[in-house]
Amino acid sequence: MNVLEISRFAVRGLTANKMRSVLTMLGILIGVAAVILLVAVGQGSSDSIKQRIQSLGANTLTVSASFSGGFGGPAGGRGGGGGAAGPRTQARGLTLEDARAIAASGDAPSVKSVSPVVTSSSATTTYEGASHSISQVVGTYPSYFEATNKPVTSGAYFTNQDVTAVRKVVVIGKTVADELFGQVDPVGKKVNIQGAAFTVVGVLKESGSTGGQDADDIAVAPLPAVQQSLTGYGSLGSIVVQATSAEVTDVAEAEITAILDQRHDVTGNATADYRILNQASLQETVTEATGTFTVLLAAVAAISLLVGGIGITNIMLVTVTERTREIGIRKAIGAPRGAILGQFLIEATLLSLVGGLLGVGVAVAGSQFTIAGVQPVIVPQSIVLALGVSVAIGLFFGSYPANRAAKLRPIEALRFE
């Protein structure tokens, strides 16, 4: 009596009640497919978020004004004049001088470039008959393109001369080019942005980011030109700083903090009126968050795998009860305990293994489609794990009914009605 022989009995046992076997397998199939697919979705969304952050430029720091934290703290002020959290001086926006200070200072050796930025949203733009509302018009310096990882596909960036001469030139995103020009090459054409005529000098490469805001619905022009015709000469929206390398972003952050604290009179425990967004640390945070997200998804899926396993126990118990007489007959003609145990264990394991393999197939097929806007990325370990767990489930959940069958005394089993 070898394993192959016992397996044949097991297969015969399973095919004797095909519908039931298929439904039981379905439980495991769904569990395994869910584990693999949900982990793949988690991985896919994590990948795409990382890619999006990377496309913003890995070694950039964005300094922006922060007005949160209360102007002197209204609650504290009323409670008894000047609490422990020292009231800070009137919050000031970021200025071009701040940007110049960072760029010119010998105290910031880790800083490669500094780009002051003003933005204007929903700028109505026309070209001949076509009209489009650009979601973001950016006024800045040429270093912005490199710092934020925005190459051009046709034409060129504007130059420092364009900035100093306040020339009305603009580099437009792919979406803007498509909306206004269609098939026509936009370079050299004049567009009208909020009443001001700008000459298109370049078109940005498609960033290809998915979901949320369209990163290609953008126009970038020299800072003074945008201030003059769109935003006015108020404070800056932000300052984009590029560090000399990804490794020194934290150093650069410290250098900038020192310079700005001094310029904005931030001392001791006073709250700064600006904040610095560090892409590298952001990426770390996001990776952590998506990791947690993936684990949660996997946990939910694991529960469905467990439910599938309980389904196997249930069916195997029913099978053993139903076939008690048959077990009695087999024992009466000399089936050893091991053969009976083996048969039912193999039946349970086959159910879970075949269900698991089909689940892998379904998951691999399902990962070809985008799910909730995410292109799933299959993690090979999740396949190995899900299959391993499903086989273990078959063995574990099958062993109780199988043991019960094997322990039956022949005469009791034969008398069973």
Partner 1 sequence: MSSPMNGPMDGDRYGSAGSANRWAGEPMSEPAEGPATTADPVLLIRDVTKVYGEGEATVRALRGVSLTVERGDYVAIMGASGSGKSTLMNIIGCLDVPTTGTYLLGGADVGALDEVRLARVRNRRIGFIFQSFNLIPRMSALANVELPLAYGGVRAAERRRRALAALGLVGLSDRVGHQPNELSGGQQQRVAVARALVTSPTLLLADEPTGALDSTSTKDILAIFDRLNLGGKTIVVITHEDDVAAHAKRVVRLMDGRIVDDRRQAPVDGPPPLVDDRSPTGAMSER
Q: Contact residues for partner 1 (CB under 8 A)?
A: 1-2, 5, 12, 16, 325-326, 328-337, 339, 409-411, 414
Q: How far is the CB of 9 from partner 1 (least distance, A)?
A: 8
Nearer to partner 1, 84 or 417 (CB): 417
- Min dist. Cβ of residue 402 to partner 1 (A): 16
What are φ and ψ of residue 94, in 5° steps?
-80, 140
Between 174 and 331, name the residue whose CB sits nearer to partner 1.
331
CB of 314 to partner 1, least distance (A): 22
Distances (CA, A) of 324 to 13, 339, 403: 13, 15, 13
User: Which tokens in the block code for residue 416?
Assistant: 């069973």
Exposure string over 36-45, b if 16+ CB within 10 A, otherwise e? bbbbbbbbbb
Distance CA 104, CA 98 (A): 10
Nearer to partner 1, 5 or 107 (CB): 5
CB of 39 or CB of 335, closer to partner 1: 335
Cβ-based nearer residue to partner 1, 41 or 408: 408
CA distance 130 to 125: 8
Helix axis angle, 380-407 to 337-366, nearest 10°: 150
Give 146 or 326: the residue with its C-beta nearer to partner 1. 326
Q: Which is nearer to partner 1, 227 or 319 (CB)?
A: 319
> Smallest distance, Å, CB 345 to partner 1?
17
| Residue 230 per-residue DSSP state | I
Q: Which is nearer to partner 1, 5 or 128 (CB)?
A: 5
Here the contacts of 174-179 (C-beta below 8 Å, separation 24 or greater) are 174/203, 174/204, 174/205, 174/206, 174/207, 174/216, 175/214, 175/216, 175/217, 175/218, 176/125, 176/132, 176/134, 176/216, 176/217, 176/218, 176/219, 177/203, 179/130, 179/132
Q: Around Cβ 248, how many Cβ atoms within 10 Å?
A: 18
Shortest distance (Å) from residue 339 CB to partner 1: 6
- Nearest 5°: the CA angle 160, 164, 167 is 90
In the complex, the smallest distance separating the C-beta of residue 397 from partner 1, rounded to whole angstroms, is 25
We find the least distance from the C-beta atom of residue 353 to partner 1, in angstroms, to be 23
Q: How far is the CB of 19 from partner 1 (least distance, A)?
A: 15
Tell me how far apart the alpha carbons of residues 26 and 17 are, in angstroms, rounded to a whole number. Answer: 14
Find the angle CA(271)-CA(272)-CA(276) to the nearest 5 degrees: 130
Question: Contact 64/94 with Cβ under 8 angstroms?
Answer: yes
Q: Using alpha carbons, select from 277, 273, 196 the residue that is nearest to residue 241.
A: 277
Cα–Cα distance for residue pair 36/364, rounded to 1 Å: 8
CB 357 within 8 A of CB 31: no
Comparing CB distances to partner 1, the nearer of 289 and 411 is 411
Nearest-approach distance from CB 21 to partner 1, in angstroms: 14
Residue at 345: amino acid letter = L
